[in-house]
Structure 1
Amino acid sequence: MEDKCVPTRYEIAVKKIKEMILNGELKEGEKLPSEIEFSRTLGVSRATLREAFRILEDEGLIKRYHGVGTFVSKIPFIKSGMEELASITKLIERQGMKPGTTDVVIKKVRPSEKEAAMMGISQEEEIYRVERVRTADGVPVLFCIDRIPARFVKGEFKLEKESLFDYLQEDLGIYISYAVSDILPVEAKVAGVHKKLNMKSRSAVVLLLEQLHYDENDNPIFYSSNFFSPEKFRFYIVRRRK
């Protein structure tokens, strides 16, 4: 029986090329070696290298120009420490990029069983479910789904600010103090994320950050699912030895 956990040759090639880009061995804007030379360097066939190139181009890491060559793309990395809770708007601005929002969908609905359980509410209690695509300098970098109980909202829910944190604090008087988070890799086809982030490959992997946000009195306020493009966001954590 075939072991589906064993990576294929082109997946290994993709990983090697990504590492070369991320560690600076291959720099932004640099032209890659010829297929013959590069396939020898990686120890793979030209067919395998072409498949790796197709995936990397889908993910926006490289750009191929017919008759000219293949180049490393400029990648807008957005870095954040996992120990810090900051709005996506602030994270994007820190990198010197302009935050934006597209494809906003706001619905007043009854929560699913999972949503109700996460927020500790009844499935009979209405919530606002807010779906948005966040952009950095016009490039889609994140698809987010936020759920907030309707009882917290005064009147009609209107998200006219880029930051949900700012809206909660300035319009609703709710200050988000901390969040409990889980992060895991999922296929981009989940919730149609590959389309929302302009990813050509449905099988590409994105990072899902699920968070339950609390106010300063330890009350759960809203539950979010954030799907990050791994080529646009990089998370890190500082670990100290005791």
Structure 2
Amino acid sequence: MENFELVGYPQRYEVVLKRLKQLIEEKFKEGDKLPSELELARFFGVSRATLREALRILEEEGYVVRKHGVGTFVSSRPILQSGMEELQSITKLMEKQGYKPHTKDIVVTKTYPNAKEAHMLRIPSTEEIIKIERVRLAESIPVVYCVDRLPAKLFSSEFKFIGESLFDYLNDKLGIYIAYAISDIIPMLAEKNNVYKKLDLEKNDVVLLLDQVHFDQNDIPILYSSNYFSPKKFRFYIVRKRV
């Protein structure tokens, strides 16, 4: 393991954090055990307290897993990431990050909404909706299970969803532009609704549910979606600014 040069940099945990990420990405793979804290502290020329702070942040960000009395291991890293403040289709997100989007297990039904669906879409329970269930893949890796509902009145004829992006379909076929969304962020076990089977997870794995209503520029609810993301494969972050 060749030493990193810290000349010209203050020996602070921010610098060590950056160098540790570089080291992990270049020298280690998922599941590998990192050198001991003492070795890493000597390697970077910092105190163990500084090194521990950098490791703590790395663990919070999901880069490593620390096992008491055993050591620090490189964790599996998400293949996709997105800012929580950004609203874009999953299709576009995959393409921007170099993955070809695919869809499998798509089921489209015309049905009546339950109480929550009717409330979210602001329609009576006697008004039909189109419900779309599907698993989205980055290349061949399932990353999100999507359940989307739209008022059936939006479609003058039989609904035929073609393509990968529902946002693009609404815009190109119906002239409907999704301007913003209001989202609830709910952690839950993957065993609920058999999400673990759809995303190739374990029952006790945790998934992140984005339960959200999408509105057009006239503040009309167009789409109610429940998207189940695996934190193992998809990382969300948020940029927070002082006000």
Q: Which residue of 1 aligns with 2:232?
A: 231
1:130–1:146 CA contact under 8 A, matched in 2 = yes
Matched, 1:88 2:53: no
SS in 2 for 1:93: helix
Higher gyration radius (CA): 2
1:154–1:172 CA contact under 8 A, matched in 2 = no
How far apart in 1 are the matches of 2:220 and 2:200?
36
| 1:172-187 to 2 correspondences below 5 Å | 172-187=174-189
Matched, 1:42 2:43: no
2:78–2:235 CA contact under 8 A, matched in 1 = no
| 1:5-20 to 2 correspondences below 5 Å | none
Q: Which residue of 1 aligns with 2:130?
A: 128
1:184–1:207 CA contact under 8 A, matched in 2 = yes
Q: One-letter code of the match for 2:155? A: V
Deviation at 1:189, TM superposition (A): 1.1
* Residue of 191, 204, 214 corresponding to 1:189: 191
- Superposition TM-score, scaled by structure 2 size: 0.72
* Residue of 106, 109, 112 corresponding to 1:110: 112
Where does structure 1 differ by over 6 angstroms across 4 or more consecutive aligned residues? none
Q: For structure 1, which runs of at least 5 residues remain unmatched after alignment?
A: 1-21, 35-40, 50-61, 63-70
* Residue of 81, 101, 104 corresponding to 2:103: 101
How far apart in 2 are the matches of 1:31 and 1:169?
43
Q: 1:151-186 CA distances to partner (integer Å, 9 max, x unpaired)?
A: 001211111110000000101111111111111101
Q: One-letter code of the match for 2:117? A: E
Deviation at 1:23, TM superposition (A): 5.2
- Superposition TM-score, scaled by structure 1 size: 0.72
Deviation at 1:77, TM superposition (A): 2.1
Q: Which residue of 1 aligns with 2:203?
A: 202
Greater mean alpha carbon deviation, residues 127-136 or residues 22-31: 22-31
Aligned residues: 191
Deviation at 1:76, TM superposition (A): 4.9
Matched, 1:221 2:222: yes
SS in 1 for 2:127: coil
Q: Which residue of 1 aligns with 2:4?
A: none
1:26–1:72 CA contact under 8 A, matched in 2 = no
Pair 1:23–1:191, CA change in 2 (3 A): farther
SS in 2 for 1:162: coil
1:92–1:98 CA contact under 8 A, matched in 2 = yes
Identity of aligned residues (%): 52
* Residue of 130, 151, 154 corresponding to 1:149: 151
